Structure 1
Amino acid sequence: MSVDDHKIIHRAISHMASQAQDIVVVGEASTGEEALDYIEALRPTIVLMDLNMPGIGGIEATERITAEYPHIEVIIVSAHTHEPYPSRAFAAGASGFLCKDCEETEMLKAIRRVHAGGRYISAEIAGDLSARLVGGVARSPFDELSEREMSVALKITAGHTTQRIADMLHISPNTVSTYRRRIYDKLAVANDVELTLAAFRHGLVGDVLDS
């Protein structure tokens, strides 16, 4: 099953599967919520999950899928490969992490390895994780945010209004405001402008521009 808000990604994954006799795409979803709705009926063995999507986002969806369906493995396929995303993904229960521009052969290798009970991480992502584990990469204050707080923070920095964020995440505007206050406190910022600048400084600018 593939979960991504871009149809071109679904087409690419379907093409890849058509070249492999042992892999079948049982369904597609464009949001994390859709994935959770479809999984009960489709019962996929592996879910290929994007990170940056409307709604709850890939990491929160991964956390819920792996908690509710422990027999289903999730492989993250994302353009956002820098920290804190890989660490958050594995903490949420993902079994693999691929760059979105990886070759079809690598994706097939990852699917087969995870299906066999292993894990798979693209080489460049593995290098960044190793550096972080041995202390070569400084921790980001964004690491202190919960998955929902991170999702709200990125939507704020993308310029979405409180009401729009509430609609995207299916929560109330008051709840969005509560998350905003928590984010400000954890990041020691006073307003949305300072939050956006902090996201830029800590390498999240790509996510800001794409959210």
Structure 2
Amino acid sequence: MQKIKVFLVDDTPTLTRCLEKVLNKATNIMVAGNAIFTAANQKVIQENVPDIVIINLSSNEKRGAELVGMITKEFIALKVIVLSTHDDFNSISAMLKSGVKGYLLADVKHSELNKAINKVMQDETYIQNTVAGKFINGYQKENHVKAINNLSPREVEIIRLIAKEHTSADIGKMLFISEHTVETHRKNIWRKAGVKSIVGLLNFAREHQLI
């Protein structure tokens, strides 16, 4: 069985040795090499031919972010897992958007680290269980805000009137605009909300707490 080759980047030699010892115990994982941030450049990584690079951001966050950017740009097939002290949505989201495939806290249990390596190797994205809930909640809130901000105040007003079963003619009279203008707003609302029917629009409005 071909082993997964892992390359470690960390400015903390003690932790590096500990991780190396633990990972080499796994039957399908081997540590191909390690480096501190100042030495972890394109050539060093290329020479070790790893499948996955694990970067401990907590020991050098700035260098770590720079290294993540370099790897995801220069080595498209190479997968990156980061270890961090941050468990908030913005930190996780920023790393995932940069191309990271795995996000774990620095004190992650070794069994979950092994699980993350195997999942990432299968081209899955892995977020540590204890922080996954925060990320999902943050993702939902971000999308909620985007959806609401995508609509103009007038469009939100019209959605609420549609929900009260007013016709376009009724809405035009209530808002002192033409029926044609109301119809234009309705088309824009349909497009922005990504719906095709009144039922879909009402579901969207309820989901985003517009009604």
Calculate the TM-score normalised by the size of structure 1: 0.60
Which residue, 22, 29, 44 being the options, matches 2:28?
22
Q: Which has the higher strand share?
A: 2
User: What letter corresponds to residue 15 of structure 1 in structure 2?
Assistant: K
Tell me whether 1:78 sits opposite 2:84 in the alignment.
yes
State how 1:92-131 maps to structure 2 within 5 Å: 92-131=98-137
Kept after mapping to 1: 8 A contact 2:101/2:124? yes
* Alignment equivalent of 1:61, drawn from 67, 71, 80: 67
- CA–CA distance in 1 between the matches of 2:62 and 2:104? 20
Q: Secondary structure at the match of 2:135?
A: helix
Q: Secondary structure at the match of 1:94?
A: coil
Mark the runs of 5 or more structure 2 residues left unpaired by the alignment.
1-6, 146-211
**Equivalent residue letter for 1:112:** N
TM-superposed CA distance for 1:100, in Å, is 1.1
Could you report, residue by residue, the CA deviation over 1:165-187 in whole angstroms, capped at 9, with x for unpaired residues? Answer: xxxxxxxxxxxxxxxxxxxxxxx
Q: Which runs of 5+ in 1 are unaligned?
A: 140-211
Q: Which amino acid aligns with 2:8?
A: S
Whether the aligned pair in 2 keeps the contact of 1:33 and 1:56 (CA below 8 Å) is no
Deviation at 1:83, TM superposition (A): 3.9
Distance 1:33 1:11, change over 3 A: closer
Report the TM-score when normalising by structure 2: 0.60
Q: Which has the larger Rg?
A: 2
Name the % identity. 27
1:16 shift after superposition: 1.3
Maintained 8 Å contact 2:58/2:83: no
SS at match of 1:71: coil
Quote the offset at 1:55 in angstroms. Answer: 8.3
- Please give the root-mean-square deviation of Cα atoms over the aligned residues, in Å: 2.4
Matched residue, 1:4: 10
